[in-house]
Copies of this chain bind each other. A is one copy, B any other.
Amino acid sequence: MSHVRNVEQFRSSLRRFLHTKGLKSTRQREVVAESFLAATDHVSADELYRDISTQHPGIGYATVYRTLKLLKEAGLAAERHFGEGFARFEPLEPGQHHDHLICTGCGAIVEFENPDIESLQDRVAERHGFAIDYHRLELYGRCAKCRPKQTHS
């Protein structure tokens, strides 16, 4: 889903963000951003760090965390918590949003979008006087492969 992405565009978005904020565009930040995009979606900071380490042993844990935080601020990454005790991150296509189906058997994560659900959410929020900025919807269950076979007996 988010794999079809314009790397160049992502890179320049980041540069623009850094420039606007008076921050510097460094080799490390480019490397982290690049690896982040190249990685499977929903990497943890640790996974990303390890990925990077193989090619760039110099880059430290702290830099990975610091860069991920910047990417979030730039609106280029989203932080997710799937109840594993640590965070996972995914690249964000500007203006795009999706929710997740998580298989409690094999850990597979499937992304989906559903406008009908979203408009119902808006209606609920409105009813309570809220103005929604963002939301989180996760469905936990068993994927087709992990589903226990039907008991026919």
The chain A residues found within 8 Å of chain B, CB to CB, are 81, 83, 101, 103-104, 110, 112, 114, 116-117, 120-121, 124-125, 128-144, 147
Contact = CB atoms under 8 A, between A and B. Distances in A.
Quick one: copies of this chain in the complex?
2
Contact of A147 (B131, B139, B140): B131
A140 B136 CA distance: 8
A81 B101 CA distance: 17
Nearest to A116: B120
Contact of A124 (B120, B124, B139, B147): B139
Given A117-B117, A121-B117, A110 B128 contact: yes
Nearest to A81: B81
A136 B133 contact: no
Given A116-B120, A134-B141, 7 more contacts: A81-B81, A81-B83, A110-B130, A114-B120, A130-B141, A132-B139, A133-B142
Contacts of A144: 129-130
A133 B138 CA distance: 11
Contacts of A110: 128, 130
Contact of A121 (B83, B103, B129, B139): B139
B137 A137 contact: yes
